[in-house]
Amino acid sequence: MTTEHMPGLASETIGIWVAAGSRDESRETAGSTHFLEHMLFKGTPTKDAKTIAAAFDRTGGDSNAITAKELTCYYSRCLVTDLSDITALLVDMVSNSNLDAEEFERERGVIIEELAMSADDPGDVLFDDFDELIFGDHPLARPVGATKNQIRVLGHHTLLEHHSTTYVPPRLVIAAAGGATHDEVLGMVEDALAQAGVGSEVGSHPWDISSATAGAGHGRGAREVPTFQSGRSHTVKDTEQLGILLGCEGLEEGHPDRFVYSVLLTMLGGGMSSRLFQSVREDRGLAYAVNCVASQFTDFGTFGIYAGCTPENGQAVVDLALAEWDRLATETPTRSELDAIVSQLSGSMVLGLESSAARMNRLARSEIFGISLESPLDLIERVRSVTAEQVSTMAGDLMSRPKSLSLVGPQADVALP
């Protein structure tokens, strides 16, 4: 368990994290991680689905769950005065979910509808297509929620096995940030475990809630490291705009050069003053949205440039984006431009860490990925230590790597040069 006290706050964000995601599934079990996320809200021996929903709504806060490719999280932001009840509810859901077979069949239809909604969103399709293109046969290529056909055949027994083998320590991490002290949260968690009938154990696996153990691995087991696949894909859709995503291999989570990476992403495509925004949108009027994107995993990362434009502007946008990327690699940024980006990043870091949810997220990811926690002042100093030469060198390194291009939208003659 890992917590952070934020004096003066009347609220707390608490989450139970599982160090497993869709990446850890096989072809046969694809979709079970996301399906299980849904099922944990469907009832325990002492609470039905409506009671769980009402208990979360009563606090007036924010409660939800997320499934990602390497993580799953169940969280709630509530008043400190409601934290004991919410903690007990989350622990009960994670450790005592009914996982009823009839509820499983009903929820199957809900998830298929969710996937259909995602398939209607060109942006979701674009990013899924890009992952499928660059990761090939690797598990990271699959959508987090799997496909409709995979959900149709997913067995109830697969869900039960996934829960029994995955939702156990050391994969489980409890993280909290807000107005409660560490000792207060620890007491609430101990009480919640007792109320849930698991005490300090789930099966034969003890919950280690006494302290954080960053970098412990959390029982993930060995993972196959992916290899970036270059290429081009185009999903033709009847839309007004053409979605464009071009990119290459980037940096993994916790990479030593991550602060240089952050400066590069922001300078090239991280805001209204970024090079891509100014060049593609302001100077040429070729697109409304254009920005840099990055995905980071334990052992791999991707760097990309996203844009949405009319089909006839597609090639010009790609060419201009590559030109700006190359200019950053070949021409060292000025001191004034670097100072402006450092100021932007420093401000966004400090403002972001005023959120208890952001701090809870940071604590959990630090614990799971084994990244040392740094104070806001230390983070700012790390950003300030980045040099213009480092940014230019990294841009050149990324530019030299194999690239891929994904398109979603009307037919268009767009390619990487």
Q: List the catalytic residues.
A: 37
Please tell me the distance from the alpha carbon of residue 85 to that of residue 331, in angstroms, as a whole number.
Answer: 57
Please tell me the distance from the alpha carbon of residue 196 to that of residue 113, in angstroms, as a whole number.
Answer: 32
Contacts of residue 159, defined as CB under 8 A and 6 or more positions apart, other chains included, come to 32, 35, 36, 39, 99, 104
Both tokens of 372, joined, read: 């040392």
Tell me the residue length of the chain. Answer: 417
Which three-class secondary structure state does DSSP give residue 236? Answer: strand
Q: Which residues make beta-bridge pairs with 248?
A: 303, 403
CB count within 10 Å of CB 25 equals 22
Which three-class secondary structure state does DSSP give residue 288? Answer: coil
Please tell me the distance from the alpha carbon of residue 286 to that of residue 275, in angstroms, as a whole number.
Answer: 14
Q: In what order do the strands lie in the sheet with 301-309?
A: 231-236, 403-409, 242-249, 301-309, 289-296
Q: What is the full DSSP assignment across 297-342?
A: -SS-EEEEEEEEE-GGGHHHHHHHHHHHHHHHHHSPPPHHHHHHHH
Both tokens of 366, joined, read: 């630090």
Helix count (H) and strand count (E) of the chain? 15, 14
- The span from the first CA to the last CA of the chain, in angstroms, equals 50
The radius of gyration of the chain from alpha carbons, rounded to an integer in Å, stands at 23
